[in-house]
């Protein structure tokens, strides 16, 4: 059941991040961006002394959204 929740969480976070940043890529793109965003957001928060993604909570959603936006921004800088 944990994998399904991560996919749903990733899709939700990726969709919101794509809407915030202004990109589109489809469902698979949103899932990948959301899950990788959760990892990147958790890493950023650990550097700042906070906790990362630890469940399906509003705080975890915010951390994953932060990481997903950073990921999309980096991809825009690397890819023309």
pLDDT tens-digit series, residues 17-34: 989 988 877 888 888 998
pTM of the prediction? 0.86
**Domain around 10:** 2-78
Residues 6+ apart with CB under 8 A from 60: 9, 38, 52, 53, 54
Give residue 4's pLDDT: 85
Which two structure tokens, joined as six digits, stand for 46? 């650990």
Closest-CA residue to 12 (of 44, 39, 37): 37
Number of structural domains found in the chain: 1
Q: How far apart are CA 7 and CA 45, in angstroms?
A: 21
Checking if the pLDDT of 1 tops 60, the result is no
Give residue 2's pLDDT: 79
- Give tens-digit pLDDT for 22-71: 887 788 888 899 889 889 988 898 899 888 778 788 888 899 999 999 99
DSSP code at position 48: T
Q: How far apart are CA 50 and CA 21, in angstroms?
A: 24
């Amino acid at each position: 059941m944990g994998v399904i929740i991560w996919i749903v969480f990733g899709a939700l976070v990726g969709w919101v991040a794509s809407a915030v940043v202004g990109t589109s890529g489809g469902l698979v793109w949103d899932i990948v961006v959301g899950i990788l965003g959760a990892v990147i957001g958790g890493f950023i928060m650990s550097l700042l002394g906070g906790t990362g993604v630890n469940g399906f909570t509003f705080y975890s959603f915010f951390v994953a959204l932060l990481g997903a936006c950073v990921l999309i921004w980096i991809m825009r800088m690397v890819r023309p």
